[in-house]
Amino acid sequence: MKNRYYSFLINIFVIITLSSAQDTWNLVWSDEFDTDGSPDQTKWSYDVGGGGWGNNELQYYTRSRSENARVENGVLVIELLKEPYENRNYTSARLVSKNKGDWLYGRIDVRAKLPTGKGTWPAIWMLPTDWEYGSWPQSGEIDIMEHVGYDPGVIHATVHTAAYNHSIGTQVGQSIRVQEVTDYHVYSVEWYPDRIDAYVDGVNYFTFTNQVNGALNSWEKWPFDKRFHVILNIAFGGTWGGAQGIDSTLTSAQMIIDYVRVYEAGNQSGPIPFIIMQPVNTTVIEGQQAVFSVQAGGYPLLYQWKRNGIDITGANGSQLTLPSVTMDDNGALFTALVSNDSGTILSNPATLTVSPFSGLQFFYTEQAVVIDGTDEDEVWGTTAFNQVARTINGTAASETDLKASFKGVWDMTGLYLLFIVHDDVLQSGAAQTWQDDGVEVYIDADNSKGSTYDDNDFQYRFPWNGMVEETKRTAVDRVEYCFREVRGGYVLEVKIPWSTLGTTPSDRMLMGFDIHVNDADIQGIRDTKIAWNSTEDNTYQTPSVMGTVQLIGFSTQIQKRAVTPVQQSIGCTRKLLLLKRGDYGRIRLWDLSGKLVRGMDTKTKKGNRLYLQKE
């Protein structure tokens, strides 16, 4: 049904064969249309609209409108009507089984009566559910039955792919003439890994194969290794249906469907398996996903993937996905063993090459890190800052007072982070803490980077002058942090224990990671947000947009050495010391928590406590 015009479909004679009697099929999905009323909502949805559908069609497809789609007397009626509706002069229905009936391989039978009349264009067809190879025609189309009213009695079956489609004049299809399309006929396809066969009343009149003259086909020629769904509709006019005009006196036309039945191959095996497409060598960066796939013929098929000749537990599909490869995978050989009751075949090996990770790295340290909101721990003087510089929300004016950088280290107890934030105006107390000034830390502990948060994903929020939050599961047990206000901004120091993240660190371990910094110049209104990795404010929704950090371990740990002065961008030129209580014989200074310190950066007086300024 996709935007086509055929000029060659006249009086085509084909060699036909009967449907193979040796195949056995098991019914897995059907609609017998036994209950009057609206089509079964558990099996059918609607495509709705009237924009021409890429073919200059004249009808508007409606939703749940009995005039256009209904079940009555044991059949489904799809009716085209001439009537003004939503700026169109015709209405119809387009029923889809998407996400309610989706299949990879099998047999589809539809018993139907077709409408006649110049301009009518009924179709029984299939489209990909997930569009994994891209938009039409890259992901494919299977036309089980099409009929145009100006050429009565001629039934067409066609496939469309990136390599074979009408827009470049390479479409592949065939036609057959039937008696009285207004009588019931059974329109079918049998879909295998190596071919697609089309039938009318059990007569095979078109076959599209996944192997031509021994050449292996790519997805551009054969995208039919993904799940598809069924579509039932009547179009009117358009580039094919209206190629010879329309009957303007036609007021209604019906396609009547007795049943839709979907089968999967039974236990009887087909021919000995054969490899259609071998897995290919793959090169990825450490921590990234690696994917291998194999295409085979000879249904029904069983798969077992192997790594260096050893079975991979649970790897029993035509595709093998390694979510996060390590350097241990470099040079590994992957093969697929394909079998059915008739035999077994082993694919050629594919080599995985892994390049070392070269992004953000946090180094192991044995030095003590005190969470006191300063950069005075020796370790911070030996590690480099990373800039938080990607603007997510905000304007040029709102960004002028916000700059941020961070660094990190780790030991066997936890992950340590130091943030220096330049922010002239600090706000807190908003109804939602993300509207306060503060820092957000995102961690995907197993680096799986899924489309939704799971038990290994964490979102920590450290609001200025507030309490830490972990917004996905409140996992804040033993998390340490300390803010310290400085001239022109603040310093934040954080420790997140590995036990809270539910993981054990190791050398070269990779984690999903991101940093966001919020800015509110007016209380309760966040006007700017910047990030280290993400370019959109969606890290809180999906771990897949996080960046990656690697833990570098014991052999490259940070050595004890003299502290290098930290170049801070916040313009802090003086240190302020808090005298909370003192022995004036040998002045001893404590911070607000009672901890003995050498100094505290601040610029505001709190209560009646005394602050001493050290130049």
Active site residues: 141, 146
Gap between the Cα atoms of 333 and 349, Å rounded: 6
Amino acid present at 64: S
Gap between the Cα atoms of 144 and 208, Å rounded: 12
What are the CA-CA distances from residue 171 to residues 125, 131, 533 (Å)?
15, 19, 44
Gap between the Cα atoms of 224 and 196, Å rounded: 9
In 3D, which of 354, 321, 360, 320 has the Cα closest to residue 337? 320
Asked if 144 contacts 124 with a C-beta cutoff of 8 angstroms, the reply is: yes
Asked if 348 contacts 335 with a C-beta cutoff of 8 angstroms, the reply is: yes
Q: Which two tokens stand for residue 49?
A: 């609209």
> How crowded is residue 604: how many other Cβ atoms within 10 Å of its Cβ?
8
Gap between the Cα atoms of 320 and 304, Å rounded: 10
Please count the CA atoms within 13 angstroms of the CA of 580 that sit on its side-chain side. 13
What is the C-alpha R_g of the chain?
A: 33
Burial zone of 606 (CB within 10 Å; 0-12 exposed, 13-18 middle, 19+ buried): exposed
Q: Which two tokens stand for residue 67?
A: 């005039």
Gap between the Cα atoms of 307 and 405, Å rounded: 42
* DSSP code per residue over 116-164: -STTEEEEEEEEESS-TT-STTTT-EEEEEE--TTSTTEEEEEEE-SSS
Ramachandran assignment for 518, one of left (phi > 0), alpha (psi -120 to 50 degrees), beta (any other) = beta
Asked if 196 contacts 159 with a C-beta cutoff of 8 angstroms, the reply is: yes
Gap between the Cα atoms of 303 and 40, Å rounded: 36
Residue with tokens 């047990």: 477
> SS3 of 379, please?
helix
Residue with tokens 């002239």: 424
Asked if 150 contacts 118 with a C-beta cutoff of 8 angstroms, the reply is: yes
Exposure string (b/e) for 463-475, b if CB count within 10 Å is 16 or more? Answer: bbebebbbeeeeb
End-to-end CA distance of the chain: 79
Residue with tokens 């013929």: 297
